Amino acid sequence: MIGPTLWLTLIGMGLITYAIRLALILLLGRLALPERAQRALRLVPPAVLAAIIFPELLRPAGAFDISPGNARLLAGLIAALVAWRTKNALLTIGVGMAALWVFQAVYRP
Amino acid sequence: MIYGALAMTTGLPVAMAQAMSAVVFAGSAQFIAVQLIANGAPALVLLLTTFVVNIRHLLYSASVAPYLAGLRPGWKWLLAYLLTDEAYAVAILHYQQTDARHRGDAEDAESRRATPRPRHYYLLGAGLALWLTWQLSTALGITLGAAVPPGWGLDFALPLTFIALLAPVLKDRPAIVAALAAGAVALIAAGWPYKLGLVAAALAGIAAGAWADRRSAPIVAPASYSGHAPGGAVARPDADAETDPLAQDVP
């Protein structure tokens, strides 16, 4: 996907986001969000994020790789530990990148 | 800033990377879009994913609506554009605190209903400040990202960013169930055409999390003993979801 198509897609993404943000500000009183829906919406971030992370770590080259030779899996696990303990985004990214470089240097001398 | 740098490592043109910050203005959706574009996903999948990722803004929209009810339409249309995770979090806290301060004063509440105080300036100020920061830091990230040579594996910073965003949202059992189910389906469906595996995995995760939520709902006490706690995360049923989802949407 290049050029005009990508631009149109980008504008479409903007319109979708804007419509979601605007909808209930305009429709208040005529439409309330049920409790069930509100609780389900809270689950969107964990589901989407995990759906991206798992394949990136466990299928880095398209095929399953659950071995110590998978540098991205090891670095990702270390980063996850840092994220869980510190809740610090920049530190997580920094440690994760450093771990990746170390593992890559070890495996591919 | 991280967004701008990552957009460059995936080969997105500079103008598009910056335009996305201005047009979409939603950090997590932009990160995911960059990843999908790099993987060659088609337009429909990008739009679908944007919808799924940003549908949480419905919550914010519903939540601030009472405070903006008396405004002219132009104000509502402008403030809706600025309603990011952070702007919402800051504004709703302010509104609730000022509400609490005035509660008990019936006369004041009555007069406020008649003529709402100009509280929308608070959301406008927070929204504009965040907007400007986001545009400038995108530009800075683009400059830095373009200077980093490929081969450093900097594309890995994208999943690392998602790991950093995921950790703080895993604060109760339904969220953990949602993450594990979505991750498992994503692994199985990674080879699906058009990158539809991501959408399928997200929906499966939300369904599984909602099921876990329904199961645990009648239990009042924290049910930390009634099963295994994956990932060793601590269940905190008291932590409410007022401002939690992807709180670092615009880093």
Q: What pLDDT shows up at residue A29?
A: 54
d(CA B234, CA B220): 16
CB-closest option in A39, A46, A75 to B179: A46
Dump pLDDT digits (tens) for B72-120. Answer: 888 899 999 999 888 887 888 788 777 666 655 544 554 445 445 557 8
Q: What pLDDT shows up at residue A32?
A: 66
CB-closest option in A42, A55, A92 to B241: A42
Q: What pLDDT shows up at residue B114?
A: 45
CB-closest option in A5, A17, A93 to B160: A93
pTM of this prediction exceeds 0.80: no
Nearest CA among B215, B130, B202 for reference residue B172: B215
Nearest CA in chain B to A48: B202
**Choice among B61-75, B97-111, B174-188 with the minimum mean pLDDT:** B97-111
**Choice among A34-38, A46-50, B112-116 with the minimum mean pLDDT:** B112-116
| Arithmetic mean of pLDDT, A27-44 | 76
Is residue A81 pLDDT above 90, yes or no? Answer: yes
Q: What pLDDT shows up at residue B180?
A: 97
Q: How many CB pairs under 8 A join A and B?
A: 273
- Centroid of chain to Cα B226: 31
Report the mean per-residue pLDDT for chain A. 88
Contacts of B208 (CB under 8 A, 6+ apart): B177, B178, B180, B181, B182
Q: Which of B52, B162, B187 to mutate to test the interface with A (most CBs of A within 10 A)?
A: B162
Q: What pLDDT shows up at residue B237?
A: 39
Q: What pLDDT shows up at residue A35?
A: 81
Q: Which of A11, A24, A26, A48 to mutate to test the interface with B (most CBs of B within 10 A)?
A: A48
pLDDT band at residue B57 under the 50/70/90 scheme: confident
Is residue A57 pLDDT above 50, yes or no? Answer: yes
Yes or no, beta carbons of B169 and A25 under 8 Å apart: no
Helices (H), chain B: 2-9, 14-23, 27-38, 43-54, 57-68, 73-81, 85-102, 106-114, 120-147, 157-169, 173-188, 196-216
Q: What pLDDT shows up at residue A38?
A: 78
Q: What pLDDT shows up at residue B242?
A: 40
Residue A99: phi and psi, rounded to 5, are -65, -40
Nearest CA in chain B to A10: B20
Yes or no, beta carbons of B57 and A40 under 8 Å apart: no
Q: What pLDDT shows up at residue B205?
A: 95
